[in-house]
């Protein structure tokens, strides 16, 4: 993992089709494990341009989110996507 991604906001997907948003504390590509702070799961995308719209422009009006947890250890990671500054602003609203 690039050091520049640590402490950035990311979307994480898993082999069980889980999708999570939060601050990336650590990521072990070999073990396929990520740890997020201030993490939320995405229950329904609610987007018109697919999953990665959440990373580029943030949650849409119809996006359904789970509650925030302080720390989340995620096994079975299949992807880690950096979230844009524009999207972070919407996630934080």
Q: Which domain holds residue 39?
A: 3-92
CB 43 within 8 A of CB 66: yes
CATH of the domain at 36: 2.30.30.100
Q: What span, in angstroms and rounded, lies between the C-alpha atoms of 46 and 1?
A: 29
Tokens of 5: 């991604």
Q: What span, in angstroms and rounded, lies between the C-alpha atoms of 1 and 80?
A: 10
pLDDT of residue 51: 94
- Measured over the CA atoms of residue 28, residue 75, residue 35 and residue 8, the dihedral's sign is positive
pLDDT per residue as tens digits for the range 18-46: 999 999 999 999 999 999 999 999 999 99
pLDDT of residue 58: 96
pLDDT per residue as tens digits for the range 44-91: 999 999 999 999 999 999 999 999 999 999 999 999 999 999 999 999
Evaluate if residue 2 carries a pLDDT over 60: no
* pTM of the entire predicted model: 0.91
- Measured over the CA atoms of residue 74, residue 80, residue 2 and residue 4, the dihedral's sign is negative
Tally of domains within the chain: 1
């Amino acid at each position: 993992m690039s050091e520049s991604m640590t402490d950035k906001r990311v979307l994480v997907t898993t082999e069980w089709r889980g999708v999570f948003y939060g601050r990336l504390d650590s990521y072990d590509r070999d073990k396929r494990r990520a740890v997020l702070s201030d993490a939320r799961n995405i229950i329904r995308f609610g987007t018109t341009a697919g999953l990665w719209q959440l990373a580029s422009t943030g949650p849409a009006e119809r996006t359904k989110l789970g509650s925030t947890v302080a720390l989340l250890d995620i096994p079975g990671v299949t992807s880690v996507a950096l979230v844009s500054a524009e999207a972070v602003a919407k996630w934080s609203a």
